[in-house]
Amino acid sequence: MSLETLQNDFTLALLDPERDIPSGLVGSEQITAKRRFAVYRNNVVSSLVEALKTAFPVVAKIVGEEFFEAMAGIYVRNYPPSSPIMMLYGESFPDFLSGFGPVAELAYLPDVARFEQIRREVYHAADAEALPPDFLARVPEEKLANLVFTFHPASAVATFEYPALSLWEWNMAGDNGPAPDFPRQGEDVLFYREAAGTGARRLSPGGSLFLTELAQGNSFGAAAETATAVSEFDLSDTIAALLEARLVVAIT
């Protein structure tokens, strides 16, 4: 058997417990080749499940460890990583949850997963030097409208249909009694780099639109005008978010 054929058969059997093991594997009288192959089967699936558990701790907490492991086992067999860089494995896990029948009643779960995935992407994104906290104050007022910003590569703005940040914060805080009244509407969240990793800040209505417009290279004036279309847009709160998150690395 060629090495390529062997590795094909091996891979298929690793990911499908029902499939026959490849031919030519040697066991012993006491321990069959099939039983030995099971060690590799288990290593592959359990190490990938473990990677997802580390990546999505709040999803795991919400559904419970045992359920998470079973659900993640299905995911990893169907969507093994495409790259050996495991720190971002699970990109499609939020979408998988959206279509996974047994969690259909937890409609907010895919948003929580998406929150956790963005958080790790920002955690590992490129480093950059942010402008000093008072940079905006030093811009002459008449130049403000035409200002174009370059955002920190380790940042993201996301709109969630459910209150993903509130759910995440409450679950991360530990076992603190009965659940509070979570907001009924979704949340817009700014993710940014901070010393310990990734920070997350709630944005007021229109904030996500404003920051996304800026990130796309639109001027401060144009972005503000677009965002004003959102009825409760709060420009000063959004600017506060931008400054507190040290979001801007360059202005032109």
Q: Is 6 in the site for another protein (CB under 8 A)?
A: yes
User: 107 or 172, CB closer to another protein?
Assistant: 172
Tokens of 236: 């000063």
Query: From the CB of residue 105, how many other CB atoms can be counted at a distance below 10 Å?
Result: 7
Q: Is 37 in the site for another protein (CB under 8 A)?
A: yes
- 162 Cβ neighbours under 8 A, 6+ residues apart: 107, 108, 111, 112, 186, 187
Q: Is 81 in the site for another protein (CB under 8 A)?
A: yes
Q: Closest distance between another protein and the C-beta of residue 56, in Å?
A: 16
Q: Is 30 in the site for another protein (CB under 8 A)?
A: yes
CB 61 within 8 A of CB 171: yes
Tokens of 72: 């993640």
Q: Which stretch binds another protein (CB under 8 A): 25-33, 169-177, 208-216, 227-235?
A: 25-33
Q: Is 86 in the site for another protein (CB under 8 A)?
A: yes
Report d(CA 62, CA 97) in Å as an integer: 13
Report d(CA 252, CA 112) in Å as an integer: 36
Report d(CA 10, CA 12) in Å as an integer: 6
Q: Which stretch binds another protein (CB under 8 A): 40-48, 102-110, 136-144, 184-192?
A: 40-48
Query: What does the binding site for another protein look like in residue numbers (CB under 8 A)?
Result: 1-4, 6-8, 10-11, 14-15, 24-28, 30-31, 33, 35-37, 39-40, 43-44, 47-48, 51, 79-88, 123-128, 153-154, 193, 195-197
